[in-house]
Structure 1
Amino acid sequence: MKSALLLVPVVLLVALLVASCTSSEPRPRQPGTLFVSVEQQSAWVRNFNPLFTGAGSRWPTRAGVYECMEVFIPSTGQWTPWLATAHAWSEDHRTLRFTLREGVRWSDGRPFTAGDVAFTFQLLKKHPALDAGGAWRFLEDVRAEGTHAVAFQFSRVYIPGFSELAHQPIVPRHVWEKVADPVTFTNPEPVGTGPFTQVNVFRNQVYELGRNPNYWQPGKPAVSALRFLAFPTNDQANLALVEGEVDWAGNFVPAVDRTFVSRDPEHHTRWFPLYGSTVFLYPNTTRPPFNDVRVRKALSMALDRERLVDIAMYGYTRPADATALNDSYTGWRDAEAASGAWVRHDEAAANRLMDEAGLTRGPDGLRRMPDGQPLELELEVVGGWSDWVRAGQVLARDLRKLGIQAHLKTYEFGAWYARLQKGEFQLAIAWSLDGPTPYTFYKWLLSPRTVRPVGEVAAANWHRFGDVEADALLTRFETESSPEKQKELMAGVQRRFSELAPAIPLFPNPSWGEASSKRFTGFPSAQNPYARLSPHAEPDSLLVLTALAPREP
């Protein structure tokens, strides 16, 4: 998602890097410490709350400090047992049981049990703000069955619920039952089952996590600590990566093979499969004229996606088709839906649709709303995410050709994300939510059940759109176990998405991942795709953090 433009003279780059690292990294690198660049912020907030996704917890809180029961890997299409070693459905698909791994301890030495799992889900029920995935919309009860088994009783048949339950980070009951408000709790001294739980250092500009002294995988993690420097922008983060200060990153790097890989081809690698979430231009459909499908499709057809991916993304991806699916869903893609013309650049057709919607041009060439006011729009992106900023510039220029006064506006990440989640925007570039099947992706794009009032934090469906017909297909999918029938239903959802254009897909986001094996080995790659290389890819990051090892001297 993030990016940088490495166009500054090399001498200045080195000077900036030295200044940046000197101010935030006062001590020399310690052996076995992995430097990671995954979040671009000007200062760190000490927050390790894995339950409230809107709180902006520090990486790797949800998949590194805490862990889930099973891990789905898009690069392999397989589930990997983690805190649970097995699961089984009842014959009527109304009960799902997980068998938990024996011998797991929390980082404070207390045993991990089924009681912790049941307690975690009861917290989500008691505090709905924590239940971002809506687990209690399909759960009836969760109970521990002894020490190492937990049973989830469903209120209805809901087969996609497996992934939502399996991926939920689990917290310790003996700690969290004493927390007065788990929504606002920042959890400064986390107790987890993950490989890295000890807060060795935490300051505004740097923090470091040490190994869990009681980690359940013998001999792991081999990495002794994770260290994070505060880089306000991707430009600064990429300087550190290119100069060898960062070992693992999830950045967009322009001309990455020349600027990064070729500097040390023996050790520098990158892997950018199109498994990342789809990048959308989200129109806030609660605000006219975005509640008109003709306007949404006109905006889409005004965009030159070929030019967009060439200029803003350096050709690392491809234009989105009308299904908006990334390449991890290739086997699900419906050809009829994918061929939708509304994602193809066609200025004449875009102008016709705007005219039909009553947004005609005035004498000055600017389109006007029905009340006569010029159609003036703000397109919001994160300042410092140079790929998205450049994409926004390209999009704004295309929209101006349509007679729209389009202005790019940048925000610091926290402010941008808060506006996005609360629906307090007109147009915004943002990502999508994904899962093992396209169900999660489309549920958060089309289902009325995911629509939240403007002003209320939403996990996704930031565009606030719901369609009853698509939801009926999604609901049928929830009870269907036949792969053939699942694909038939999902084809119908894709066609409905293409018909309604609730959000405007731009391109599938590459799963950005860069690594240097100069100090550490074991990173995933196209040749060894045991996980995605991107640290943004959670919970894949658990597999990477437990596979890496310091290079032998």
Structure 2
Amino acid sequence: MTSCFPLRRSIAAALAVLWCFAVPASAEEPTDIADAVKSGALPPLAERLPEKPRVVDMAALGKTEGQYGGTMRLIMADAKDIRMMTIYGYSRLVVFDKDLNLAPDILESFDVEEGRIFTLHLRRGHKWSDGAPFTAEDFRYFWEDVALNEELSRGGPDQQMLVDGKPPVFEVIDELTVRYTWDKPNPLFLPSLAGASPNYIQLPAHYMKQFHKRYADPDKLAAVVAEHRSRDWIALHTVKARQYRPENPDLPTLEPWWNTTAPPAERFVFKRNPYFHRVDASGRQLPYVGTVAMTMSSNDLIAAKAGSAESDLQARYLRFDNYTFLKEAEKTRPIRVKLWNDGTGSKVAFLPNLNTNDPVWREIFRKVEFRRALSLGIDRGEINQQFFYGLAHEGANSVLQSSPLYSEKADQAWATFDQDQANALLDEIGLKRNDKGIRMLPDGRPAELIIEFAGDTQETDIVELVREHWGALGLKVYARPFQLDTMRRRFLAGDTLISVWNGLSVGEATPDLPPEEMAPVSGVQGNWPKWGEHTDSGGKAGEPVDLPAAKELLDLYKQWRVSATTEQRREIWEKMLDIFTDQVFTIGTVNGVKQPVVINDKLQNVPEEGVYSFAPTAYFGLYMPDTFWYKE
């Protein structure tokens, strides 16, 4: 089987590199499915692969071609972490490459015209994990029968599929080609497909139609709904269709591994997708590792278990202060411990809720002087020395120095430790001290701030230190831990004053990545959740933005959403960074923190250095765990 095809290296550049590839007739079968192929339960490799598979050039990635075998063990603390397999697997229609350019992955190629017409070309012969063809029908089914179905998608298509509130015109060109056309450019479309939590625009139609009232026999569908104890067919379809959190073992996938374990479970086993579309240059189908086992454990025990070599690839739930213990364990256990760069704009960030229900605090939080005072009142040097051995970078919640958008002005905006200036700002807005030194609110109450967080021990300790810093300004500060889901519900309801999160997830942002975290666009943003909900719902929920600086950020983001060139997007990013940091809509502490990564000694092709962040690297995803292999 021979194939020659172009791989588009970026959106802006239409240059193509011609790859010609032939799968040898005697290509090695993965050892874990060789018997199934021999017995006829699975077709041979040449019949499982697309005609034009994606060829992974290991040498170009600084990797070596590997061998089959082994089970990769992971440890997680929550059954919801099953989604990490989707993030780590990082099989997407379009992906970010190692230079953060967009390139086809599941797609054979894509064409972009005027920034608004996107034609997607599928690989001939590509199949879902159950062997069914992957075709344009899977896109049509999702768009027409799910996204535009008022029962399944009551809010309509997702925001990344709308430009100025309008959806695209969707066309099936042929069995392997679909097209999305907007009236204006949609620079968010391709990055959304490449996200760690991707914008899914396809579903396995052959499987999902049995749960859809348009296609299923009514009596059979009613029986299945009753069997699964679902509320109705809508609830059943929703649960069965989850791709990001792969809890349904029967749902066909395009990821390198598919889940074989139905929840609830303490151990999830993921098996090789025998129809996965990637191969190495020798024609061997990826992944090299046939099985991934994800075991649930207590968060507090994961560092100890990683140090005892009970995990083969662990970074999640490990902190920088675990590093000394892990390096000591490296001496006696078959592990190696590396330090990757944390890719967030701030390891710990404080988010004043500008939409809080308390009218007095809401008015105070909306005064930029108060937010600047809080930022100036934090001794970042003490945080750095006490928790990160002075190795972190002290600054605002902004992009990192490694980002092409880095600005020293934004990086250091109101991020120096200056209690005198902080006190002067608090005096200026009328928060006077009583005879006990406590500042008083305009309604006569003591200025009592409650910080809500859902983090680990280290985060708790940082919060305690910041409590002391702000206490020195005359504020009474309390810390209250919550479960993450509870915390999100509280700030969206307006019950939260200040919450604690990581900073910008795209610390290494490029102009072509969406600046959505700096504008009120989502209800999950703790600093302005009701404004974000209003934007996300198209005005159907939440509250309209009524603070000029926040409105300006939203307007700039809307300009980015219809921008046609990278230079336009760069200009918008720079303006937004300047406003966002000068207005201190979130309060950063330190960034550039090192992330411990524990690797089994036998596991090969894991980079010595990397960027560990959700976006855009998908944690390990950018480094392609399907290329990892065991030496013995």
Which bracket does the TM-score occupy, shorter chain normalised?
0.7 to 0.9
In the alignment, which residue of structure 1 is the partner of 2:252? 191
Which secondary structure does the structure 2 equivalent of 1:344 belong to?
A: coil
For the 8 Å contact 2:355–2:529, the answer to whether it is kept is no
Match of 1:172 among 188, 201, 204: 204
Match of 2:603 among 508, 520, 526: 520
Distance 1:118 1:415 in 2: 37
Which of structures 1 and 2 has the bigger CA Rg?
A: 2
For the 8 Å contact 1:195–1:220, the answer to whether it is kept is yes
- CA shift, 1:377, in A, is 1.6
Distance 1:124 1:271 in 2: 42
In the alignment, which residue of structure 2 is the partner of 1:32? 70
The aligned runs of 1:44-443 (5 Å cut-off) are: 44=79, 58-62=83-87, 64=89, 67-73=91-97, 76-90=99-113, 92-121=114-143, 123-126=146-149, 127=153, 134-137=160-163, 139-167=167-195, 168-169=199-200, 170-177=202-209, 178=211, 180-181=234-235, 183=238, 187-189=247-249, 190-200=251-261, 202-218=263-279, 219-233=285-299, 235-250=300-315, 251-264=317-330, 267-278=335-346, 279-287=348-356, 288=362, 289-321=364-396, 324-329=398-403, 331-340=404-413, 342-383=414-455, 385-420=456-491, 424-431=495-502, 432-434=504-506, 437=510, 442-443=515-516
Which secondary structure does the structure 1 equivalent of 2:294 belong to?
A: strand
In the alignment, which residue of structure 1 is the partner of 2:5? none
For the 8 Å contact 1:521–1:548, the answer to whether it is kept is yes
Q: Is 538-547 or 244-253 further displaced after alignment?
A: 538-547
- CA shift, 1:390, in A, is 1.8
In the alignment, which residue of structure 1 is the partner of 2:530? 453
Distance 2:248 2:535 in 1: 25
- CA shift, 1:484, in A, is 4.2
Distance 1:293 1:86, change over 3 A: same
- CA shift, 1:284, in A, is 0.4
Q: Is 150-159 or 161-170 further displaced after alignment?
A: 161-170
For the 8 Å contact 1:433–1:441, the answer to whether it is kept is no
For the 8 Å contact 1:69–1:82, the answer to whether it is kept is yes
For the 8 Å contact 2:511–2:570, the answer to whether it is kept is no
Distance 1:174 1:243 in 2: 45
* Structure 2 counterpart of 1:59, one-letter code: M
Which secondary structure does the structure 1 equivalent of 2:139 belong to?
A: helix
- CA shift, 1:267, in A, is 4.2
Distance 1:211 1:388, change over 3 A: same
* Structure 2 counterpart of 1:425, one-letter code: T
* Structure 1 counterpart of 2:329, one-letter code: R
For the 8 Å contact 2:74–2:293, the answer to whether it is kept is yes
- CA shift, 1:457, in A, is 10
When the two structures are aligned, how many residues end up with a matched partner? 496
For the 8 Å contact 1:274–1:317, the answer to whether it is kept is no
For the 8 Å contact 1:72–1:540, the answer to whether it is kept is no
Where structure 2 has 5 or more consecutive residues not aligned to the other structure, the ranges are 1-68, 213-233, 280-284, 357-361
* Structure 1 counterpart of 2:176, one-letter code: H
Distance 2:598 2:286 in 1: 20
Which secondary structure does the structure 2 equivalent of 1:156 belong to?
A: coil
Output one character per residue of 1:116-159: Cα deviation in whole Å (capped at 9) or x when no partner: 23444553454266966532245422333212222111232232
Q: Is 391-400 or 428-437 further displaced after alignment?
A: 428-437
In the alignment, which residue of structure 2 is the partner of 1:19? none
Distance 1:267 1:125, change over 3 A: same
Output one character per residue of 1:75-115: Cα deviation in whole Å (capped at 9) or x when no partner: 5333342111322211x322111222333211121111233
Which secondary structure does the structure 1 equivalent of 2:289 belong to?
A: coil
Distance 1:277 1:498 in 2: 11
For the 8 Å contact 1:326–1:508, the answer to whether it is kept is yes
* Structure 1 counterpart of 2:162, one-letter code: W
Distance 2:516 2:489 in 1: 21
Query: Over aligned residues, Cα RMSD in angstroms?
Result: 3.4
Distance 1:512 1:339, change over 3 A: closer
For the 8 Å contact 2:405–2:573, the answer to whether it is kept is yes
- CA shift, 1:512, in A, is 3.1
Distance 1:523 1:481, change over 3 A: same
Which secondary structure does the structure 2 equivalent of 1:345 belong to?
A: coil
Which secondary structure does the structure 2 equivalent of 1:294 belong to?
A: helix
- CA shift, 1:40, in A, is 2.7
Distance 1:326 1:133, change over 3 A: farther
In the alignment, which residue of structure 2 is the partner of 1:545? 625
Distance 1:319 1:545 in 2: 32
Which secondary structure does the structure 2 equivalent of 1:409 belong to?
A: strand
TM-score (norm 2): 0.70
* Structure 2 counterpart of 1:444, one-letter code: E
In the alignment, which residue of structure 2 is the partner of 1:27? none
For the 8 Å contact 1:71–1:540, the answer to whether it is kept is no
Distance 2:100 2:277 in 1: 25
For the 8 Å contact 1:252–1:512, the answer to whether it is kept is yes
Distance 1:503 1:110, change over 3 A: same
* Structure 2 counterpart of 1:294, one-letter code: E
Where structure 1 has 5 or more consecutive residues not aligned to the other structure, the ranges are 1-30, 46-55
In the alignment, which residue of structure 1 is the partner of 2:517? 444
* Structure 2 counterpart of 1:171, one-letter code: L
Distance 1:291 1:336 in 2: 22
* Structure 2 counterpart of 1:523, one-letter code: V
- CA shift, 1:345, in A, is 1.1
For the 8 Å contact 1:196–1:212, the answer to whether it is kept is yes
Distance 2:594 2:205 in 1: 34
For the 8 Å contact 2:392–2:590, the answer to whether it is kept is yes
Q: Is 394-403 or 97-106 further displaced after alignment?
A: 97-106
* Structure 1 counterpart of 2:288, one-letter code: A
- CA shift, 1:338, in A, is 3.6
Distance 1:304 1:355 in 2: 20
The share of aligned pairs that are identical, in percent, is 18
* Structure 1 counterpart of 2:530, one-letter code: P
In the alignment, which residue of structure 1 is the partner of 2:580? 497
TM-score (norm 1): 0.79
- CA shift, 1:291, in A, is 1.8
- CA shift, 1:404, in A, is 1.5
